[in-house]
Amino acid sequence: MSHIHCINPQCNATNSVDESICQECNTPTTRRYLWVMDGEAQCFEIQTLIDDRFYVINDKVVLDTKPQKIPTFGDDIPSEIIPYQRLFTQKLHLPQVYSAIANTWLLEHQSTPINDSGELIYPHIFPTLSSSWAEASPLRQLNWLWQIGQLWYYLKKQKVLSSFLAQDNLRVDGGIIKIMELSPDNHNKPSLQDLGNLLEPLIKNSQEIIQEVLTNIILSLQQKLITSTGELIKILDQALFILGEEYYQRKYHILTTTDPGKKRGNNEDACYPSPLELKENVSGINTLTIICDGLGGQKGGEIASNLAITTLEQELTQIYQKQLKDTLYSKNWTPLIDKEKILSALSEANDQITEINNAQGSKDRDRMGTTVVLTLALDHEIYFGHVGDSRIYLITSQGCHQLTVDDDLASREVRLGYSFYREMTSNPQAGALIQALGTDYAKNIRPHIKRIIPDEDCVLLLCSDGLSDFERVEQYWRQEVLPILGEEVSLSESIAHLLDIALTKNGHDNVTIGLVHCQILRVDAQKQRGLSWATLREVLPDLPQPDLSAVTVMKKNDFFERYKYSIAFLLVVVGIILGILYQSKSSDSPSNPSSLDLPYHGLSA
Over residues 428-476, the pLDDT tens digits come to 999 999 999 999 999 999 999 999 999 999 999 999 999 999 999 999 9
Residue 272 near residue 255, CB atoms below 8 Å:
no
Summarize pLDDT for 290-329 with one digit per residue, the tens: 999 999 866 799 999 999 999 999 999 998 876 554 544 5
The half-sphere exposure of 550 on its side-chain side, counting CA atoms within 13 A, is: 16
Q: For 370, phi and psi rounded to 5 degrees? A: -160, 145
Q: Which residues pair with 369 in a beta bridge?
A: 295
- Ordered by start, the domain boundaries in the chain are 31-108, 130-245+532-554, 247-522, 563-604
The continuous run of DSSP H or E covering 62 comes out as strand 61-64
Instruction: Return d(Cα 56, Cα 34) in angstroms, integer.
Output: 10
* Percent of the chain topping pLDDT 70: 87
Residues 6 or more apart whose Cβ sits within 8 Å of residue 333: 237, 238, 240, 241, 327, 379
pLDDT of 507 > 90? The answer is: no
Nearest to 176 by CA among 122, 110, 269: 110
- Digit-coded pLDDT (tens) for 388-416: 999 999 999 999 999 999 999 999 999 99
For residues 328 and 389, give the distance between their C-alpha atoms in angstroms, rounded to a whole number: 31
- pLDDT-based confidence at 64, cuts 50/70/90? very high
The C-alpha atoms of residue 531 and residue 551 are separated, in whole angstroms, by 19
For residue 577, give the 3-state DSSP assignment. helix
pLDDT tens for residues 546-593? 999 877 545 545 544 544 555 555 665 556 666 566 565 554 444 333
Residues 6 or more apart in contact with residue 450 via CB below 8 angstroms? 383, 384, 385, 403
Whose CA is closest to 198, among 137, 152, 139?
152
pTM score: 0.90
Q: What's the CATH fold of domain 247-522?
A: Phosphatase 2c; domain 1 (3.60.40)
Query: Could you give phi then psi for residue 46, rounded to 5 degrees?
Result: -65, 145
- Contact criterion met (CB below 8 Å) for 206 and 176: no
Sheet with 248-259, strands from edge to edge, namely 279-282, 248-259, 511-522, 458-463, 391-395, 400-402
| Other CB atoms within 10 A of residue 326 CB | 13
The Cα 552–Cα 542 span in angstroms is 25
**Which has the closest alpha carbon to 301: 390, 375, 366, 389?**
366
Give the C-alpha distances (Å, rounded to integers) separating 538 from 238, 242, 542, 545: 11, 12, 10, 13
- Report the length, in residues, of the chain: 605
Better pLDDT: 552 or 245: 245
Tell me whether the omega of the peptide bond preceding residue 544 falls within 30 degrees of 0, making it cis: no
Does residue 294 contact residue 269 with C-beta atoms inside 8 Å?
yes
**pLDDT at position 102, please?**
79
- Highest mean pLDDT pick, 74-83, 496-505, 546-555, 560-569: 496-505
